[in-house]
C-alpha cells in the first residue's frame, strides 16, 4: 500500500535559487497522505544553491540550468518538464523571471511564494521596505505566476505583526516560518 502513495498525485517541479527551506517543506508536505502533489523534479539556476542538497537527501531528480541565455534555458526546461510529465510548478525562492512564452505553456499552473502582503512590495527587499515605511503588518502571499512580476491572482495570504524591535532579518525569519505553513495551505486550496 505504501508504494501506491504518490502514484496518482500531481507531478510537480519546484524551482529554486537558494537555501530551499520552502522546497524542503514542500517535499515533506508532498509525502503526507493529504497532499495532492508529489515533488518529482527540482530545478535550479544556481549550481551552488544549498537547496539542491534536498535532491540527494530525498532522491528527487534535480537539474541545474544556466539562465544566461534564457531562450536556451527555457527550451531545455520545457523538454525536461515534458520528459518528467510535470503538471504543476512551484517557485520557491527562484530568482529568475520566466518569459511570457514559457508562462503561457503552463498557464495557471505556476505558483509562487512572496514575502510580503501583495500587492505591496513586489520584487526584492520586502522586509526593509516594510520597516522603512513603518508598516504595522507584513506577511506572505502565494499567488499565480503571470507575465507581470508578483502580480498574478493571490491564492492565500498570512498577515504578521511588525514589532518596534523588528529588523529586516528578524522579520525575514518570522515570515519564512509562516511561509512554510502557507505554501501547503495554498496547494490544498487549489486542488481541494
Near ligand GRF by CB under 6 A, which window of 17-25, 62-70, 102-110, 147-155?
A: 17-25
User: Catalytic site residue 114?
Assistant: yes
Residue 17 vs residues 21, 46, 91, 120, 125: alpha-carbon distances, Å: 11, 6, 9, 23, 16
Closer to ligand GRF by CB, 72 or 137: give it: 137
Q: Is 22 in the site for ligand GRF (CB under 6 A)?
A: yes
Q: Which is nearer to ligand GRF, 15 or 88 (CB)?
A: 15
Nearer to ligand GRF, 82 or 189 (CB): 189
- The angle, 0 to 180 degrees and rounded to 10, between the axes of the packed helices 21-30 and 168-191 is 30
At 130, list the grid cell.
516594510
Task: Tell me how many residues contact ligand GRF (CB under 6 A).
Answer: 14
Closest approach, Cβ 45 to ligand GRF, in A, equals 13
- Minimal CB distance residue for ligand GRF: 93
> Up-side HSE of residue 174: CA atoms within 13 Å toward CB?
18
Site for ligand GRF in 41-80 (CB under 6 A): 51
Q: Does 138 bind ligand GRF (CB under 6 A)?
A: no
Whose Cβ is closer to ligand GRF: residue 72's or residue 97's?
A: 97
**Residue of 44, 45, 46, 115 that binds ligand GRF (CB under 6 A):** 115
Query: What's the sign of the alpha-carbon dihedral 168, 170, 176, 182?
Result: negative
CB atoms within 10 A of CB 185: 14
Closest distance of CB 104 from ligand GRF, Å: 22
**Does residue 139 contact residue 159 with C-beta atoms inside 8 Å?**
yes
Q: Which is nearer to ligand GRF, 51 or 190 (CB)?
A: 51
- The residues assigned a catalytic role are 114
Contacts to ligand GRF by CB under 6 A: 16, 18-22, 51, 92-93, 113-115, 176, 179
Amino acid at each position: 500500500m505504501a508504494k501506491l502513495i504518490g502514484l496518482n498525485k500531481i507531478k510537480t517541479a519546484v524551482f529554486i535559487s537558494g537555501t530551499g527551506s520552502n522546497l524542503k517543506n514542500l517535499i515533506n508536505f508532498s509525502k503526507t497522505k493529504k497532499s495532492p502533489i508529489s515533488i518529482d523534479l527540482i530545478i535550479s539556476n544556481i549550481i551552488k544553491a544549498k537547496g539542491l542538497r534536498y535532491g540527494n537527501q530525498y532522491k528527487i531528480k534535480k537539474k541545474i540550468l544556466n539562465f544566461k541565455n534564457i531562450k536556451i534555458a527555457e527550451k531545455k526546461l520545457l523538454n525536461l518538464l515534458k520528459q518528467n510529465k510535470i503538471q504543476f510548478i512551484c517557485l520557491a525562492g527562484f530568482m529568475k523571471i520566466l518569459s511570457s512564452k514559457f508562462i503561457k505553456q503552463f498557464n495557471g499552473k505556476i505558483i509562487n511564494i512572496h514575502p510580503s502582503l501583495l500587492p505591496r512590495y513586489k520584487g526584492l527587499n520586502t522586509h526593509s521596505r516594510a520597516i522603512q515605511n513603518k508598516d504595522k503588518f507584513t506577511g506572505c502571499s502565494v499567488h499565480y505566476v503571470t507575465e507581470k512580476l508578483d502580480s498574478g491572482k493571490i491564492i492565500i495570504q498570512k498577515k504578521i505583526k511588525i514589532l518596534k524591535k523588528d529588523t529586516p532579518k528578524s522579520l525575514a525569519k518570522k515570515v519564512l516560518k509562516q511561509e512554510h505553513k502557507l505554501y501547503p495551505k495554498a496547494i490544498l486550496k487549489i486542488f481541494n
